[in-house]
Amino acid sequence: MTVQEIREKIQAGLPGSEVEIQDPYNDGVHIKAIVKFSGFAGKSVVEQHRMVYATLKDELKAEVHALGLETKVS
């Protein structure tokens, strides 16, 4: 899973979202996604993260546990 693929998957699942991917170690493993999305409004942080995870369902099954996540209402 490349950084670009992660961004595309999230944006496809949450249309209109802004996605910033940080790869601080430049290893493609310890990735952090910062997602701004209007659809997060009124939802708890847990629900917001679940919405992002849902767009990466198949990727996360493959034990991509090193995905950091920060969500914001846009």
CA terminus-to-terminus distance, the chain: 26
Is 26 a binding residue for other proteins by CB under 8 A? The answer is: no
Residue 16 or 30 having the CB closest to other proteins: 30
Is 61 a binding residue for other proteins by CB under 8 A? The answer is: yes
User: In this chain, which stretch among 10-18, 20-28, 35-43, 59-67 interacts with other proteins, using CB under 8 A?
Assistant: 59-67
Is 68 a binding residue for other proteins by CB under 8 A? The answer is: yes
Q: Which residues bind other proteins (CB under 8 A)?
A: 30, 45-46, 49-50, 53, 56-57, 60-61, 65-70
